[in-house]
Amino acid sequence: MRPTGPTDTDTSETDTAAGALAGKVAVVTGAGRGIGRCVALYLAKEGARVVVNDPGVSPDGTGQDQAPADQVVAEIAAAGGEAVASHDSVVSMEGGSRIVGAALDAWGRIDILVNNAGILRDRMFIKMNEADWDAVIAVHLKGAFACTKAAAPHMHRQRCGRIINASSSSGLVGNAAQANYGAAKSAIAGFTRVLARDLGRYGITCNAIAPMAATRLTVGMADMATKYGLVIPEPEYIAPLIAYLASEAAWNVNGQVFYVFGGSVSLAQPPVARRTIFKRDGWTVDELIEAVPTQLTQFTDNPGPPAEHLRPAFARPPATDATPAGEEAE
């Protein structure tokens, strides 16, 4: 028998045998393809009734196609589960309300929200424009807010709910050419931790995952991995952790971020102070010039160091015969 928590509404052996999520109602955004599709199918397999939300856009957020969401609904139905399609976009409050409303109209409640919808518009920052920034922030961050804002009052009344957000190592660690995506994903991690504090007292948990899987959005990364003899795992590996976090068994797991890569699941550590220097009467800039490199940052790496000729003179290597003094090496 699976472990249960204090918010269980039915702890019978029959429901447990039917699946970890028997009787629950879930909304999964971005569920027409990739990770979202696998999550929707897995939650249904575990007994949840699922709203499969996906407007069917291209990886950059353009276009629209109802077929992906409809196909996933058909797959769930063919396997004996219950699902309805939602083709609304998450980028507006009205869209978020309609997406959650699809669950309420079909089954009268919402127990699980998986904020998974996402697009990419990768550019090096110098070339990134406002439209690239706004579109990615709107889907990832505004979308998570819009759907959560619509779902939270119902979970609050039920005194039970599970919210799982999709973050990314691009936001938690950083990745080149993804200022928009990384900013959104970092913000989602913060959003998750704050929601955990705001909603936890009402029996609502909020956690996040930072997954890595082979999807439409990671094609470039997969090609690079293949070049070096590596393989990015399929998205099916992500779904079981989300199902666990959505279950009653995870009633006391709240405000956490998990990395998921194939069979590896890791608990992320929130940013904390690594080293500290203290001077009772405060610091001068001259003192910090001396103290910071020797006491704070001496074991850190610069993720994007400048070319040698752009460094301060005191930080450049001495000139050699190949690079005469006064000339710059490219």
Q: Which residue has the tokens 């890595």?
A: 212
Dig out the tokens for 17 from the structure. 């045998």
Q: Are 232 and 214 in contact (CB under 8 A)?
A: yes
CA-based Rg of the chain, rounded to a whole angstrom?
Answer: 23
What is the 3-state composition of the chain as percent helix, strand, coil, each rounded to the nearest 5? 45, 15, 40
> Starting at the edge strand that comes first in sequence, how are the strands of the sheet with 83-86 ordered?
83-86, 49-53, 25-29, 112-115, 161-166, 204-212, 257-261, 264-267
Provide the pairing of β-strand 257-261 with 264-267. Answer: antiparallel
Q: Are 35 and 166 in contact (CB under 8 A)?
A: yes
Active site residue 181: yes
CA distance linking residue 34 with residue 236, whole number of Å: 9
Q: Are 43 and 26 in contact (CB under 8 A)?
A: yes
Q: What residues pair up with 26 in beta bridges, in sequence order? A: 50, 112
Compute how many other C-beta atoms are within 10 angstroms of the C-beta atom of residue 167.
28
Provide the angle, in degrees to the nearest 10, between the axes of the packed helices 130-137 and 179-199.
30
To which H or E segment does residue 106 belong? helix 93-107
Q: Of 44, 50, 8, 47, which is closest to residue 29 (Cα–Cα)? A: 50
Q: Which of 181, 237, 244, 259 is catalytic?
A: 181
Annotated catalytic residues are 181
